[in-house]
Structure 1
Amino acid sequence: MEKQMKAAAPPNPDNFTSTGQNETSITLQWNEVNDNDVRSSGVNITAVTAPPNPDNFTSTGQDETSITLQWYEVNDNVSFILQYDDTEINITAPDGDGGVTHTVSSLTAATKYTFTLFSVFEDVRSSGVSITAVTAPPNTRSFRSTGQNETSITLQWNEVNDNISFILQYDDTEINITYSKHSGVNITAVNAPPNTDNFTSMGQNETSITLQWNEVNYNITLILQHNDTDINITAPDGDGGVTHTVSSLTAATKYTFTLFSVFEDVRSSGVNISAVTAPPNPDNFTSTGQNETSITLQWNEVNDNVSFILH
């Protein structure tokens, strides 16, 4: 009687390793043994999936030499690697949920940087998220006034570099400036015009108020402001007073008027006056009785702020 021999177990596969992963999968690799279907004793390895990328990776501020970055924490077991140029910075997430803030310093002014942020778990990186941010340019040098006349001021400063434009701010005005030469920049700015003289109310009725003021000069226009309304007024030719009637007003109402002189879109500081419209006449003014020495008169009240004069 022949004795049946039991098949020997095959050897375990060689080089069983993890060769890669992403957030939801792990790739494994090993060497093939042979075509036998009998199980070996088995070999074990440990592998991890990649962590998710951080959310809301943004630049929240900058100055000439630093950029501040912010993102949301992934979880307590995940740290971060911030990469820019040829530099890698290891960052440990703070305790607790919420945003992570990191300021990258010792940067160059007026320079664009690309930052890539990786989440890291057990030395495995996420795929990474990238943003671009710039440092602030340096201030201009030698900013000075080089001349002026009655209506203009000339300013000069040294350029910063070829990629820098400028914003000149004065009063409530901003001027965007680009340049085309390398020896500095010149611009001409205008002074604010003087306020008008003798701004007064010279008459009114129930629905209008007439205003008057002295003209400044031929190049000055005017803006009359009341409530939320701006009225553009062109000064007449010749010297002297300017008269303007504001109509469609409400009877028995106090108005504040502000008058600006305007030159090249630059306003003066403005002058203010208050004036009132006339009240309406009382209704139903009648005689209701008399005797030898008196007459009784009657009328309807207008409103609480109106008194009366009887002639």
Structure 2
Amino acid sequence: MTQPPAAAAPATPASTDPCVPQQVVKVRRDYNGWVATETLEDYALRYTPQRFRRWSAWRVANTAFGAASFLILEAVGATLLVQYGWANAFWAIVATGLIIFAAGLPISVYAARYGVDMDLLTRGAGFGYIGSTITSLIYATFTFIFFALEAAVMAYALELALDIPPAWGYLVCALVVIPLVTHGVSMISRLQMWTQPLWLLMLVVPFVYVLLRNPGAFAQVVHYGGESGAGVHFSLPLFGAALTVGIALITQMGEQADYLRFMPARAQTTRLRWWSGVLLGGPG
């Protein structure tokens, strides 16, 4: 009986032959270099390994604290005061702070302890892939809105100070931030170290200016009833409306968790420093 001819062995592709040198194009070489550079990649998402969490607890907390210092917060507080009066805006801000602190405390602790972001925290809490995707969508939408508002504030400041048209101001604000964020926490923490003292100084200067020009202004604002005058006394509907505006800021906890992922392990620092850093950079 005639045997069938043996099947020919498949030809080895030239690209897998060890004797043939592979040619790597420049684009691929640059991409591999970016991926291998931890300073540039900086673990922008998901899990931060222990070997990369090399900063001190104070520096991580200072970076996270600076992330919550955007100018739109002052605008939100002023809007609440003008719309709902002191009696309602004050208690709404106090209630907002307590709610955000209570909700943000476990998020901050787990992000700092295990080096995970909001996406992984949502999955670990049992919401699964869909839940983490929705969380990321909410977080991204919040970030885009506040970045746009912050750019509007900065563009208006550039127009007042340097007479730069708002259209060019938006472009400047959008382009300047790109080289800062490409290096992640490595660059942002350094920027916060340089600018934090100036920010704290400028935060106090307006109050000192008002106190010198009109010493009775702080006593008058306590009785301010808002633009319509309806908020002279505490009103539950006005308090609820102001609380609704303020509680939307709870989404900022997603960004705080992104920074707290770089908190050093508790074994690498004292218990007091670790907890102080977590509270200052997270719910605080």
Question: Which TM-score bucket, shorter chain as reference?
Answer: under 0.3
TM-score normalized by structure 2? 0.18
Higher helix fraction: Structure 1 or Structure 2? Answer: 2
Higher strand fraction: Structure 1 or Structure 2? Answer: 1
| Structure of greater Rg | 1
TM-score normalized by structure 1? 0.17
Higher relative contact order (CA 8 A, sep 6+): 2
